[in-house]
Structure 1
Amino acid sequence: MVPALYDCVIGHARTGPVRHSFRFRTYLWLVDVDRLPRLPRLLRPLAGFRSRDHFGGGAPSIRAGLDRFLAARGAEPVTGRVLMLAHARVLGHVFNPLTVYWCHDADGTPREVVAEVHNTYGERHCYLLHPDERGRADTAKEFYVSPFFPVDGDYRMRLPAPGERLSLTVRLDREGGTPFTATVSGRRQPASTAGLLRAAVRHPWSTLMVSAGIRLHGAVLYMRGLPVRPRPRHDLQEGLR
């Protein structure tokens, strides 16, 4: 099952106060954080997994960063496998708007899910979720992401563990409606040398294109008259410092 690649379509849809939507194609990795892919030397620039790109960035491994975060939130240690869905570092660059961690007990029973969010200002925030059997979980919004939304409202997330197909939804509910929905859909591909090369050729500089696309569409919204909301000070959470 892992590691695996997912050929994905990511969609953003805004319904107010200005209607705007876009979709783009990319690829994501699904990996076991304790058994990260070992690539041939020549392919390593195409897929790097570094602890400094996740959680507080100062832990010796991604798993250690997750453990620190969970301990700070009073959660029991994860005794089983942790699956991570994320962009890998490509040619020295990485940007993960959303990284998802599915945590399991030693017997394979699903436990909590951690949703790690990065914004384009270099800040990060993690949500500790307890999804139902269909992968659905709700949480209050606590982090400034889009410059056009204040930090209020609630996220309605659907984050079932990936199988042959990947289907995730993050919906923002605010008083008066649902102004924003993000979706990620994809199909699993083998994480072979050929599979990685195909993905890299189809989506060169994939992580750079993601961050550039977000900024481009932000500029479009600004030119269409959306006011920028002040960005509040964001203090790092306990366990991310």
Structure 2
Amino acid sequence: MTDPALQSDGTLYRGQVMHKRMKPFIHELTYSVFSILVDVDALPQMDQRMRLFGHNRWAPISLWDRDYGMRDGSAIRGWVEAALQEQGLALKGGAIHLLTFPRLWGYAFNPLSLYYCYDSDHQLRAVLYEVSNTFGESHGYLIPVSAEQAAGAAIHQETAKVFHVSPFIEMSCRYHFSLTAPGARLSVLINQSDSTGDPILMAKHTARGVPLTDKALLGAILRYPLMTAKVIGGIHWEALRLWLKGAKYYPKPPAPTKHVTR
């Protein structure tokens, strides 16, 4: 399955993120966002060809290697390939496309970044879900994509939760992912079930893509001038609302010893 949305070396998506909690009460929110899809190998060229985008430098919209992977400034590709190789997966030089919220005015917070990992034949081999919490921690869930799934209309994956995100959701949960390789439209659906198997949370990101150009970036800046503050502020505001509704509090456990779980 190839990625038809990646025009030149990047795509800008404008859309919405929706969260809906189903248990023990209904709690729903929707907010508008923009995200970018980039070929991690093309970041230096993107830095050169666009005035409003910077790679590892300040710009109105930027992407820094130190915001991903080991958070030490090392190349994103190296971290992803090491995680794949540890699980017996080799891309043999295939593309790695990163879907993420970039830094806006120098700041960013990414609850979830996705790495679509392709082999040298342009087939999607794995998806790496990198989750971050507000405690400054991050963790990756690496899930292979079978040839049958790669050839289908949608990819369905699941994994046990091992990384603390919300203090109002227990650790004994499973994530159920449903997504397609990004195209003209983007769709990422995450259903979370609790220890009894009941659905507890649904999150969905839907958007439409345009080529990543200075014109598209300017439009995003004008439309979402304070998106980072909105994301961070929204997380804490919704946490307060959950607390006021009587949601049970779960203390934060230690982070996993491994940075990536298969």
Could you tell me which of 187, 204, 227 is aligned with 1:206? Answer: 227
Q: Does 1:130 align with 2:137?
A: no
Choose the corresponding residue for 2:161, options 134, 141, 161.
Answer: 141
Amino acid at match of 2:42: R
Which residue in the other structure is 2:170 paired with? Answer: 150
Relative to 1, partners in 2 of residues 1:30 and 1:43: Cα closer, same or farther, differing over 3 Å? Answer: closer
Letter of the 1:187 counterpart: R
- Cα 1:192/1:41, change in 2 over 3 Å: closer
Assess, with a 3 A threshold, how the Cα gap between structure 1 residues 103 and 43 changes in structure 2: closer, same or farther: closer
| Structure 1 residues 89-168: aligned runs within 5 Å | 89-131=103-145, 132=149, 133=152, 134-168=154-188
Question: Superposed, which structure 2 residues align to 1:1-241 within 5 Å?
Answer: 1=7, 2-36=9-43, 37-38=46-47, 40-41=50-51, 43-44=53-54, 45-58=59-72, 60-131=74-145, 132=149, 133=152, 134-174=154-194, 175-238=196-259
State the SS of the aligned residue for 1:145.
Answer: coil
Q: Distance in 2 between matches of 1:53 and 1:179?
A: 29
Alpha-carbon distance in 2 for matches of 1:213, 1:105 = 37
- What is the CA-CA distance between 1:153 and the residue it aligns to? 1.8
Please say if residues 14 and 20 of structure 1, whose CA atoms lie closer than 8 Å, have aligned partners that are also in contact. Answer: yes
How far apart, in 1, do the equivalents of 2:217 and 2:29 lie? 25
Deviation at 1:238, TM superposition (A): 4.9
User: In structure 2, what residue type is equivalent to 1:151?
Assistant: M
Instruction: Provide the alpha-carbon RMSD of the alignment.
Output: 1.8
What is the CA–CA distance in structure 2 between the aligned matches of 1:189 and 1:40, rounded to whole Å? 15
Contact 2:20-2:27 at 8 Å conserved across structures: yes
Change (3 A) 1:42 1:167: closer
Q: Distance in 2 between matches of 1:219 and 1:95?
A: 19
Q: Tell me, what secondary structure is at the counterpart of 1:112?
A: strand
- Shifted more, 56-65 versus 35-44: the winner is 35-44
Partner Cα distance (1:115, 1:16) in 2: 24
1:158–1:170 contact (8 Å) kept in structure 2: yes
Q: Residues 40 and 130 (structure 1 numbering): CA distance in 2 closer, same or farther, change over 3 Å?
A: closer
Alignment coverage as a number of residue pairs: 240
Q: Could you say what secondary structure the match of 2:252 adopts?
A: coil
Alpha-carbon spacing, 1:154–1:67, altered in 2? closer, same or farther (3 Å): same
Instruction: Report how far residue 58 of structure 1 moved.
Output: 2.1
SS, match of residue 158 in structure 2: strand
Stretches of structure 1 that go unaligned for 5 or more consecutive residues are none
Q: Which amino acid aligns with 2:114?
A: V
Query: Matches of 1:212 and 1:101 in 2, distance apart?
Result: 26
The Cα shift of 1:194 comes to 1.4
Q: 1:208 to 1:69 in 2, by over 3 A?
A: farther
CA distance in 2, matches of 1:163, 1:188: 7
Alpha-carbon spacing, 1:163–1:42, altered in 2? closer, same or farther (3 Å) = closer
Offset, 1:207: 2.1
1:78–1:104 CA contact under 8 A, matched in 2 = no
CA–CA separation in structure 1 for the residues paired with 2:118 and 2:139: 21
8 Å Cα contact 1:115-1:128 kept in structure 2: yes
Contact 1:155 1:172 in 2 (8 A): yes
Deviation at 1:59, TM superposition (A): 5.1
Q: Percent of pairs identical after alignment?
A: 32
